[in-house]
Structure 1
Amino acid sequence: MVQNQLKYIAIIILTGLLAVLYNDYYMGILFLAVVICPFILLAILFYVYVSLSVELVSSAHVASKGENIPVSVQIHNPTLFPVTVICITISYVNSFSDRFKQHKQVFYVSVDSRSTTHATCNLKSDYAGNIVVSLSKVKIYDYLKIFSLRKKNLNEIKVAVLPNLYEMTDDIINARCGMQIESDTYSNTKSGDDPSEVFAIREYREGDRPQRIHWKLSLKQNQLMIKDFSEPLNCSVVIIADMAISGRNDGPDIIDSLLDCTLSLSYSFMLKGKIHYLAWYDKTQETIIRVRIVNENDLYEAIDGLLSSGPYIKDVDVAADYFAQYANELYTDVFYITNRVNDEKLDSLILIKSTCRLIIYVNKDEESAQYSSIAQEDFTADNIKEKLLETGMGLFFVSSSDIKSGLKNLKINSE
């Protein structure tokens, strides 16, 4: 644009010299026209700038990893003047997995007078998370590209890129998960044997137990009425996702793998009808968030919560915080998914009352599945083995390069 301005100044100087040299009426008119033209263009540009509306829209609000996300910029020009050049800059960032890297796309469009046009581009993300797409810059040029005005306070949209959900074929929950843990939640569709809660009252059928006869109601109805007891919904399994990272050193692969591993485990339990809890630390609310997973709606609620929460650099002991909020609860199995293991976290995990505890350690591609990969200066591989042996906890390694195969090998012995 600066080059165009310099060229136009040169044209003004040239026409001015010609008007002086020739001292002609028409040359004078030409010189005045050349001088006045930029002011007319600027007035038209300002009028169009005020009237023009630009909005970012997307028909897709949910996408899979690697899938094209169509994003359109809707431009409406209600004026009599067509706009020949509009420079649009779209920026987008994955606020969960790849929040340190911002991507941009720049393209040019034009719009006729009294019309609406759409400019569409395809975005995609190889990692799960909320993609925040914003109109970072819209510059409108005049016909000679001498002046430009920039639109401000533009809108943004969010598109959720879902993690990969892998179904595990083996039943990794051992026989202890069949134990009944006291529950305050009961089934709305199935009767059971818990006398503390009545599921329904119905007429007597042959074979019903006499102990279940509702005598008072039977006298009123002048027929035998039976009490059906409720079926407690046993929730003895908890998955705890530790999304802590060590800053930029942990790339999007590790963050994405933690999410895939956590939600694939929950997804597999849901498909097998195993009611469980999924818990994580929310850095915004600075508290533990827990969702009870019974069906697909619960799972997607948890996915939305995890994507909104995101990973955190803050040193948080998730197991200790979970125990502080739910100290009196009992479990048969606790799954702790992390890529950072230390002595303090193991001590905190012991506090959670459970028959079986398994740490799923998501390691980097270049690291082998060895205890040395998580060892630290004051916490050696021998210390790790000794600690796990003392506490009876299990440690399973999953490579971030192949979560699906790693989870297929995950199995707990039913001892």
Structure 2
Amino acid sequence: MEIYNPLVDEKYKDYFYTTVRGKSYQLIPIHLRSEYVGKMNVKVTGITLYDYFGVFSLSKQLNEQTALFVLPGTYDIDLLGNSRESIISEYSLSTDHTKGIDANDIIAIKEYVLGDNLKQIHWKLSSKLDELLVKEMSEVITSSQFILLETAVSDVHPNEIDAMIEAFYSISKAMIKSDQTHYFGWFDRKYNLFRRKEIHSLDQLNDHLQDLLSISFKVDHQSSIATFLQNTYDIRVSQLIYITSSEPNRESLDESIHMITIRCTSHHIEKSLRNTEDTIHITPYTLEEDLRKLPI
């Protein structure tokens, strides 16, 4: 049996032994394990039958295939923070600050005063902070958040890929939990195209999980950051969350886009050099702790 995980470029062979009575039908359970997330392509290449004494044998070549998915772990990230100020600031977007009536376009959160539109009360925040808060609305949606996964990387260890995928999935899931519609994407080497998805719900996120777990990380194709710039001309991105294992290139990025880089490395980095305002370093060994430091 051959098992291949293209996500981390892991390939190995395994052999299974069992006994079967003559003229009988038997289901044989096979237990497969993987240290890493991804799509496990399983191929049965052959079978050999032996007589009771192991003297005679009969072999037959096979080409039976199937696929299994090892799903990423997820980590709880509180994107709203714990303080009243950080909670409210998350709802301020980069717009023209003109009040409007579209309930999708929040430019600020303020305390309720007599005369405010009762329909604009933010019940979720009001309940959390135990005071009435209302939403100030803009006229038009003008910006979006985008999670970008870099697939053109070199000398990347499988556990780094593992951590990048889990960070990608955890951040998207946290945005859904906090009612933040967002985009995510990556460059797909197999089909030579940039995949971009708008995510509103957990069902949508999980629908694209198989595509995410089937990609390959190679340096012999276009970078996700380069193709991102070519394929997002029709949307305005206010914040880019860029997940990579290498030094980011910000030169071609529009100045209006605030980029936060999540850089994954498998080796230890001195604390004094780790994090800046726009860069968070994560490791496979401290991933949960590192993701809690995200400035988003």
Contact 1:323 1:352 survives alignment (8 Å): no
Alpha-carbon distance change, 406 to 131 in structure 1, aligned in 2, over 3 angstroms: same
Shift of 1:94: 2.3
The yes-or-no answer on 1:309 pairing with 2:211 is no
| Aligned length, in residue pairs | 254
Task: Quote the Cα distance in structure 1 between the aligned partners of 2:165 and 2:208.
Answer: 11
Give, in whole Å, the separation in 2 of the partners of 1:161 and 1:234.
37
Deviations along 1:360-414, one digit per CA (max 9) or x if unpaired, are: 111223343565x9xxxxxxxxxxx9xx9xxxx81121122121110011124xx
Distance 1:122 1:395, change over 3 A: same
Q: Which whole-Å CA distance do the structure 2 matches of 1:107 and 1:403 have between them?
A: 39
Q: In the TM superposition, what whole-angstrom CA distance separates every residue of 1:165-222 from its partner, at most 9, and x where no partner exists?
A: 112024279947643779xxxxxxxx9479xxxxxxxxxxxx9xxxxxxxxxxxxxxx
Question: Which of residues 141, 146, 149 is equivalent to 2:58?
Answer: 149
8 Å contact kept, 1:270–1:295: yes
User: What is the aligned partner in structure 1 of residue 239 from structure 2?
Assistant: 333
Post-superposition CA distance 1:64-104 (Å, at most 9, x none): xxxxxxxxxxxxxxxxxxxxxxxxxx33232212x233141
Shift of 1:116: 1.0
How far did 1:234 drift?
A: 7.2
Equivalent of 1:107 in 7, 14, 17: 17
Q: Which residue of 2 aligns with 1:27?
A: none
What is the CA–CA distance in structure 2 between the aligned matches of 1:306 and 1:360, rounded to whole Å?
Answer: 18
**Equivalent-residue separation in structure 2 for 1:363 and 1:288 (angstroms):** 25
Q: CA deviation at 1:310?
A: 2.5
Instruction: Confirm whether residue 253 of structure 1 aligns to residue 159 of structure 2.
Output: yes
Q: 2:3–2:41: 8 Å Cα contact kept in structure 1?
A: yes
- Give ranges in structure 1 of 5+ residues lacking alignment: 1-89, 183-190, 195-206, 208-230, 374-384
Identical-pair percentage = 19
Task: Give the Cα–Cα distance (whole angstroms) in 2 for the partners of residues 171 and 339 of structure 1.
Answer: 26
Q: Provide, for residues 280-301 of structure 1, a one-character-per-residue CA deviation record: whole Å limited to 9, x for no partner.
A: 1100111110111111121112
Gaps of 5+ in 2: 105-116, 118-138
Cα deviation per residue 1:132-158 (whole Å; 9 max; x = unaligned)? Answer: 222122012345645433222331211
| Rounded Cα–Cα distance in structure 2 between residues aligned with 1:275 and 1:328 | 16
Q: CA–CA distance in 2 between the matches of 1:271 and 1:126?
A: 28
Please give the residue correspondences for 1:9-408 in structure 2 after superposition, counting only pairs within 5 Å.
Answer: 90-97=1-8, 99-113=9-23, 115-142=24-51, 145-171=54-80, 175=89, 178-179=92-93, 192=102, 236-246=144-154, 249-342=155-248, 345-348=249-252, 350-351=253-254, 353-354=256-257, 356-368=258-270, 394-408=278-292
C-alpha separation in 2, matches of 1:339 and 1:370: 19
**Counterparts of 1:193 and 1:361, CA distance in 2:** 35
Give the superposition deviation at 1:121: 2.4
* Structure whose residues are more often strand by fraction: 1
- Determine which structure has the larger helix proportion and give its number: 1
Deviations 1:299-325 (A, max 9, x none): 112321111223223253322211112
Distance 1:352 1:149, change over 3 A: farther
The equivalent residue for 2:108 is none
Distance of 1:256 and 1:250 partners within structure 2: 10
Secondary structure of 1:109 counterpart: coil
Normalising by structure 1, what TM-score?
0.55
Task: Indicate conservation of the 8 Å contact 1:109/1:119, yes or no.
Answer: no
What secondary structure is seen at the aligned counterpart in 2 of 1:120? coil
Q: Write the distance in 2 (CA, Å) between the matches of 1:232 and 1:346.
A: 28
Q: 1:396 to 1:117 in 2, by over 3 A?
A: same
- Distance (Å, rounded) in 2 between the aligned partners of 1:232 and 1:297: 27
- CA distance in 1 between partners of 2:143 and 2:75 (Å): 22
SS state at 1:280 partner: strand
Alpha-carbon distance in structure 2 between the residues aligned to 1:242 and 1:151 = 43
> Are the equivalent residues in 1 in contact too, given 2:152–2:218 (CA < 8 A)?
yes
Q: State the one-letter code of the partner of 2:292.
A: K
**Cα distance in structure 1, aligned partners of 2:188 and 2:91:** 28
Which has the bigger relative contact order, CA under 8 A and spacing at least 6?
2
User: Residues 363 and 193 from structure 1, CA distance in 2 versus in 1: closer, same or farther, beyond 3 angstroms?
Assistant: closer
SS of the equivalent of 2:10 reads coil
Secondary structure, aligned partner of 2:20? strand
TM norm structure 2? 0.75
**Alignment check: 8 A CA contact 1:254 1:362 kept:** yes
